[in-house]
């Protein structure tokens, strides 16, 4: 792992729907090293998918980048014109999505959909692209790929389709793969297979992975470093080992407590699984001070007074909390 492939500085994403813009994501800072596996964790609506779409230049109106920089190999993507961004997308930065059932074009053979990447970014002819598509399918361990390229998405299982998505995303050996909850919609038995496949291929190609998930366990297991997002901000960033053993933010602690573990309920005599009380505030209702304050057990008047900045921890990592553990 030498050097940084992606550096995100003070990224802000706002809802611009004609009224005053409202920041849905702000002050997001992180970097990803070459070939690193970086995890971004948070519950639904915390802004992690928005970050992913912003990195790939895929934000749709009314959402737009309203500040900060996205430096890919030192070059800022935020101000790039659409045509420049297109050349990078799929080529340098590619994405896989949550829903393999609907993410593929139902009227095109998977061979054409994979081959399209070589036509777009390598200037190959359709015939040459087909040969490359067979190779790509072989890489994602699809059996008899020369037959499968003629299949339409509806003829494949969910796991198969996600393999096809992976083949598309990694076709052009990108520097960064953004995986937005790639296993959420799959059977539990397939999930591990797909994750292993992604990691293995990316290791071979030297591709860095940004793994977005709400599954803290998964992320901690496969990633080098993990960032936890809450209500549009990163609240804690640690190495993957530490996130379980030494998490500092009350929200992260809450998430870990909430993970179901065999026998714990009995041990503690609980009726229900542990949960974090309250709900995530809506974008327009973000609190003035610490955004987690309304749900936090360690909250003081100070927390509510003003926005809380990230502080460096002595043992490495950063946390956005005045009373961190």
Partner 1 sequence: MLNVLLRRLLQAALTVLVVVTLVFLLFSVIPGTYASSLQADKRDVSAEVLERIETELGLNDPLPQRFGRYMAGLAQGDLGTSYATKRPVADMLAGRIWASFRLACAAILFAVCIGLPLGFFAAMRQGSWLDTATMTLAVSGLSIPAFWAGLVLMYLFSLKLHWLPTFGYGSGGLSHLILPAITLGIAPMALLARTTRAAVLETLNSDFIRTARSKGMSERRLVLRHLARNAFVLVLTTIGLQFGSMLGGSVVIEKLFAWPGVGSLLIDSVGLRDIPAVQGAILVIVLFFLLINTLVDLAYLVVDPRIRYR
Binding site residues, partner 1, CB under 8 A: 56, 58, 83, 85-91, 94-95, 97, 99, 102-108, 116-117, 120-121, 152, 154-155, 165, 168-169
Minimum Å distance from CB 84 to partner 1?
10
Q: Please tell me whether the peptide bond between 62 and the residue prior to it is cis, using omega within 30 degrees of 0.
A: yes
Is the CB of residue 138 less than 8 Å from the CB of residue 161?
Answer: no
Q: In the complex, what is the shortest distance from the CB of residue 269 to partner 1, in angstroms, rounded to a whole number? A: 45
Nearer to partner 1, 99 or 240 (CB): 99
239 alpha carbon, distance to own chain's centre: 16
Coil, strand, or helix at residue 30? Answer: strand
According to DSSP, the residues that pair with 116 across neighbouring strands are none
d(CA 136, CA 127): 14
Closer to partner 1 by Cβ: residue 119 or 313? 119
CA 232, CA 211: separation in Å to the nearest integer? 17
Residue 109 Cβ, how far from partner 1 at the closest point, in Å? 8
H-run or E-run covering 9: strand 4-15
C-beta closer to partner 1: residue 12 or 104: 104
Q: Which is nearer to partner 1, 155 or 297 (CB)?
A: 155
CB of 103 to partner 1, least distance (A): 5
Q: How far is the CB of 287 from partner 1 (least distance, A)?
A: 32
Shorter beta-carbon distance to partner 1: residue 180 or 242: 180
Residue 115: closest CA among 100, 128, 133 = 133
Give CA–CA dist 15/256, Å, rounded. 31
CB-wise, 12 or 165, nearer to partner 1? Answer: 165
CB of 296 to partner 1, least distance (A): 35
């Amino acid at each position: 792992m030498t050097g940084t492939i992606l550096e995100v500085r003070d990224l802000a994403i706002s809802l611009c729907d004609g009224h005053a813009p409202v920041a849905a994501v702000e002050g997001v800072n992180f970097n990803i090293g070459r070939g690193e596996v970086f995890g971004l964790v948070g519950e639904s609506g915390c802004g992690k998918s928005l970050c992913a779409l912003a990195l790939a230049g895929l934000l749709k109106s009314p959402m737009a980048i309203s500040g900060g920089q996205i430096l890919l190999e030192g070059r800022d993507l935020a101000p790039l014109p659409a045509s420049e961004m297109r050349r990078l997308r799929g080529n340098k930065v590619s994405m896989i999505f949550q829903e393999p059932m609907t993410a593929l074009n139902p009227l095109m053979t998977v061979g054409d959909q994979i081959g399209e990447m070589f036509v777009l970014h390598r200037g190959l002819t359709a015939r040459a692209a087909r040969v490359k598509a067979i190779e790509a399918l072989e890489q994602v361990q699809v059996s008899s790929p020369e037959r499968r390229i003629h299949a339409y998405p509806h003829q494949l299982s969910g796991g198969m389709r996600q393999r096809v998505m992976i083949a598309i995303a990694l076709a052009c050996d990108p520097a960064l793969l953004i995986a937005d909850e790639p296993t959420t919609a799959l059977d539990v038995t397939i999930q591990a297979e797909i994750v292993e496949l992604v990691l293995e291929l990316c290791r071979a190609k030297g591709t860095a992975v940004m793994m977005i998930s709400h599954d803290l366990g998964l992320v901690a297991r496969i990633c080098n470093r993990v960032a936890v997002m809450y209500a549009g901000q990163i609240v804690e960033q640690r190495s993957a080992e530490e996130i379980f053993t030494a998490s500092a933010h009350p929200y992260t602690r809450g998430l870990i407590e909430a993970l179901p573990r065999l026998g714990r309920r009995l041990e503690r005599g609980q009726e229900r699984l542990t949960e974090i009380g309250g709900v995530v505030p809506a974008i327009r209702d973000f609190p003035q001070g610490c955004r987690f304050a309304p749900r936090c057990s360690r909250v003081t008047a100070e927390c509510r007074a003003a926005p809380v900045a990230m502080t460096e921890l002595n043992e490495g990592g950063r946390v956005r909390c005045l009373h961190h553990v």
